[in-house]
Amino acid sequence: MQRRKFIKKSSLSGLALTMLPTLSFASDNEIEYSILELMGKVDIDLYGEGINLRQEAHDAFLEMKKAAYSDGIDIKIVSSYRSFERQRTIFERKYLRYIDEGMSPLDAIDKIIEYSTIPGTSRHHWGTDIDVIDGYPKVEGDVLVPNLFKGGGPFENFKKWMDENSEKFDFHLVYTDVAKRNGFKYEPWHYSYAPLSVPMLTQFRSKNLMQILKNEEFEGSSEFTTGFIKNYVRNNILDINTSLL
């Protein structure tokens, strides 16, 4: 087992950590996570070459991967842990590209958050979430495309296997295709290790996310209004698979 540590250079200061909205904190027997940790801004221990998850999630992933192998599926991680700075790079690259294409700032942000999160709010900051595909089919270009996981697509069998088996290993699909779900679009590749991510979300949502996001400075962040942040929290952070709430 390979242990990796990622160093974050960013820091937060002077943030009010009052609750918005009023929600329950973690119970006494749960680990307390700092807001810096939940935002991907401090060191965490990550395990496994090419896996990069917290140890408990890493071990569960290996068990799931082993089981899938026996059924002819090679679960391959495309993305797992992602630091704040990495998410900032993704967000700013997309924002500047859309602006160069003639979009207004607000339209650019709306386009980004169809699939990508605002830096500091990604579940990938937690070391619990994975974007996965089947490593056996040979696919050119972007592999994280919903149509590839549908009937006739190269990852159809993979998706069927995950639907039937992933929750046995406590990995749950995050952004489902259920009717009237808001926020991020359907992502048939994104799974979360629930035993860790559920209490982490509970603690994250108890923080003053309004103030936290308003204190961040990156391309496009000046466009974040109070109304936008409220909608983003309600739709993009909380409108997910109910098993992960």
Please check the confidence at residue 56 and state whether its pLDDT lies above 90.
Answer: yes
Please check the confidence at residue 23 and state whether its pLDDT lies above 70.
Answer: no
Please check the confidence at residue 75 and state whether its pLDDT lies above 60.
Answer: yes
What's the whole-number mean pLDDT along residues 72-78?
98
What's the whole-number mean pLDDT along residues 58-67?
98
Spatial CA neighbour of 199 closest among 78, 55, 26:
26
pLDDT band with cut points at 50, 70 and 90 for residue 5: very low
What gap in Å lies between CA 74 and CA 80, rounded to an integer?
A: 16
pLDDT band with cut points at 50, 70 and 90 for residue 21: very low
Across the chain, mean pLDDT equals 90
Parse the chain into domains and list their residue ranges.
Answer: 3-12+25-244
Which of residues 21 and 239 earns the better pLDDT score? Answer: 239
Host H or E run for residue 63:
helix 55-70
Please check the confidence at residue 126 and state whether its pLDDT lies above 60.
Answer: yes
Count the neighbouring beta carbons within 10 Å of the beta carbon of residue 192. Answer: 28
Count the neighbouring beta carbons within 10 Å of the beta carbon of residue 137. Answer: 15
pLDDT band with cut points at 50, 70 and 90 for residue 29: low
Please check the confidence at residue 14 and state whether its pLDDT lies above 50.
Answer: no
3-12+25-244: CATH topology = Muramoyl-pentapeptide Carboxypeptidase; domain 2 (3.30.1380)
Which of residues 238 and 18 earns the better pLDDT score? Answer: 238
Per-residue pLDDT, 30: 76
Global pTM?
0.88
Spatial CA neighbour of 177 closest among 241, 118, 90, 245:
241
Please check the confidence at residue 17 and state whether its pLDDT lies above 60.
Answer: no
What's the whole-number mean pLDDT along residues 27-53?
90
Q: What contacts 100, CB < 8 A, 6 or more positions away? A: none
Per-residue pLDDT, 174: 98
